[in-house]
Chain A
Amino acid sequence: MDSFFVRYRNIVVLLVILLAQIIGLATQVRRTDSGHNALNPRDDRGVLLIRLWANALVSPPEELIHATRMGIAGLWQNYVDLRQVRAQNQQLQQTISRLRLEQAELLEDARQGQRLQALLGFQEKYIYKTLAAQVFGSSGSEQSRVFYIDKGSADGLRRDMPVITADGIVGKVRDVFPRTAQVLAINDQTSGAGVILATTRIRGILRGDAAGQLEVVDITADERIKPGEPVLTAGGDMVFPRGLPVGVVEKVVPDPEQDSFVDVIVKPAAHLNRLDEVLVITSTEPRFPPQGQRDLDTSQALDGAQAAAIAEQQKAAQITAERLPNLVEPNVPPDQQPLNDTSPPNPMAQPPQPLHPDQFSPSSVTDQGSDQPAPAGSATPRAQSPGQTKQSPAVPTQPSPQRSPRRNP
């Protein structure tokens, strides 16, 4: 018997275990009234102990795994979020940097727009034809104060054309290239411009010194020159039109080389160190704004009408002269023409002698025994003789018109 179990112990164990489980199954399944087998899920006898054990055995590790998984997932999510936040932060930083650049660009554009607007306003009002240009470079040397503009010979620029801004003169075109041009600034030592002090009307030559300052040189010392006096172009240098602002007198210093002369340091009106846009005067032909041009046309039209009126008057005078007696006698020599007669046109004729002289007769006003006429004040009735007074009723006088109605009622 022992050898049987030993020999077939595997099968025996298998069968025993299977049998035990089958019996266990049989205790769990019940046959219902309808003849069907079913588990009894609503068994109120409580939980099977084996289920309790299984749950107690599996649930803690499962909860641990779940918690670990959730923790890892949370960490991963946090990591991902952190990475996303970091990436988002970098993206936002880049956005901020980009927006700052854009803001700076917009600000610069706005400033440039304001400058261009001011320049355009000046250009439209300025009497001479100008060409706007952009300053894009310089010589890069303090010894050569030149800058380059983006307009050249293709745009009509020529050498020695004046370059200005709305604030004042800047320089003159020096070398002209097809698309660009080099402008010599007025504060260069080799530059020169004729200027005049606006108040004292003192003329001088403007040039730059080694430090880039503007100075008017070779001016006789004059106490009237005061700081703040405007300096304008004189127009005599054949480059700058007269009347353009150059700057204001900053100070007056003695000329170190000549005793009786002074150098007038000028603060430039234009920002020579911060030039962005300039105007090149391309033509000095006066150019009027539309309203001014209309006014000029109107003036010219009025001048024409006035000339026409004068012509009409002359024509009328000629016609009148032809119709009136001619003052020029064709048969009389020129020296005997009436127009050439210098004698008084109406020589004093001797008045006819009155038939009955009285106190009012011309001869009566003369003193007796003298040919000189008596003064007008003396010809008064009180000076008359009684005999002469008696003669007056004998002279019939022409009655005045005012008396006629009374004589003929």
Chain B
Amino acid sequence: MSLLGADFRRDLEIRRYPILIYVFVPLTALVLQAWLPRILGNFDWFDLPFVITVYFALGRRSPIQGTLMGAVLGIFEDALSHHAIGVNGIAKTVVGFLAASVGVRIDVENHIIRLVLNFLLSLLSSAICIFIYRVLLGLDFAWQWQTELFLAIGNSVIAAVLFPLLNRLQVRE
């Protein structure tokens, strides 16, 4: 019954977007993520591909689509760096899956829930990356918890601002 209820609610609240949005918005996120740090310097406490992954995962309420979106954005993000390809891919794959899974069960239209969800998922993403680097791959990876905390806060703030803007792009039936 709960599953039926969940499926029913998912079908009702699922968001649909033009096909180009699925290409343009992630690409823009990747480009801005690669370009903005050159301007902001040391204040690049945000991860736009992460925010886009969470948004589409919550909006589409599909774990598979969230997983694929996170995997693609993460892999491309890794590909633009000099690090091993797949670290961010794995992290955002998990994030996309969890966001979509959570979005099926709770009301994500609430701004506070969005903030908290982005904050927690960002911390989880950072934890997965650190885990992969230091445990799975056994690489020397220096990190600071303050940086990860600021990154989580930045992602939450950006999500709070960006989600309403992206909602305008959805298809109204």
Which A residues fall within an 8 A CB radius of B? 9-10, 13-14, 17-18, 21-22, 24-25, 28-29, 36-39, 41, 48, 50-51, 53-55, 57-58, 61-62, 65-66
Contacts and interface: CB of A to CB of B under 8 A. Distances in A.
Contacts of B87: 25
Contact of A18 (B63, B94, B101): B94
Given A17-B68, A48-B85, A62 B90 contact: no
Contacts of B28: 61
Given A25-B86, A36-B138, A55-B79, A14 B31 contact: no
Contact of A22 (B32, B83, B90, B101): B90
Interface string B131-168: 01000111110000000000000000000000000000
B85 A24 contact: yes
Contacts of A9: 64
Interface in B1-56: 27-28, 30-32, 34-35
A25 B137 contact: yes
A22 B136 contact: yes
A34 to B, nearest CB: 12
A11 to B, nearest CB: 8
B93 A25 contact: no
Nearest to B79: A54
Contacts of A38: 139
A28 B86 CA distance: 10
A9 B65 CA distance: 12
Interface in B74-95: 75-76, 79-80, 82-87, 89-90, 93-94
Given A9-B64, A14-B63, A51-B79, A29 B85 contact: no
A178 B142 CA distance: 94
29 contacts: A9-B64, A13-B63, A13-B67, A14-B94, A17-B71, A17-B93, A18-B90, A18-B93, A21-B75, A21-B86, A24-B85, A25-B85, A25-B132, A36-B140, A37-B138, A39-B84, A48-B79, A48-B85, A50-B76, A53-B76, A54-B30, A55-B80, A57-B27, A58-B27, A58-B34, A58-B76, A61-B27, A61-B31, A62-B35
Contacts of A10: 63-64, 67, 97, 101
Nearest to B98: A14
B79 A17 contact: no
Contact of A37 (B32, B64, B139): B139
B139 A24 contact: no
Contacts of A41: 82
A334 B61 CA distance: 171
B79 A50 contact: yes
A21 B137 contact: no
Contacts of B140: 36
Given A28-B85, A29-B137, A65-B35, A58 B90 contact: no
Contacts of A51: 79-80, 85
A61 B71 CA distance: 21
A29 B67 contact: no
B63 A50 contact: no
Contacts of B138: 29, 36-37
B86 A14 contact: no
Given A17-B68, A29-B84, A29-B139, A53 B79 contact: yes
Contacts of B27: 57-58, 61
Given A10-B97, A17-B71, A39-B83, A25 B31 contact: no
Nearest to A64: B31
Contacts of B75: 21, 50, 54
A162 B13 CA distance: 109
Nearest to B71: A17
Contacts of B34: 58, 62
Contacts of A14: 63, 67, 93-94, 97
A258 B138 CA distance: 135
A42 to B, nearest CB: 12
B136 A25 contact: yes
Contacts of B90: 18, 21-22, 25
Nearest to B140: A36
B80 A21 contact: no
Contacts of A61: 27-28, 31
Contacts of B63: 10, 13-14
Given A25-B136, A39-B83, 9 more contacts: A10-B67, A25-B84, A25-B137, A28-B84, A48-B85, A50-B75, A55-B79, A61-B27, A65-B31
A242 to B, nearest CB: 94
B76 to A, nearest CB: 5
A17 B28 CA distance: 24
B30 to A, nearest CB: 5
Contacts of A25: 84-87, 90, 132, 136-137
Nearest to B77: A54
Nearest to B82: A41
A278 B63 CA distance: 105
B137 A37 contact: yes
Nearest to A23: B86
A66 B36 CA distance: 10
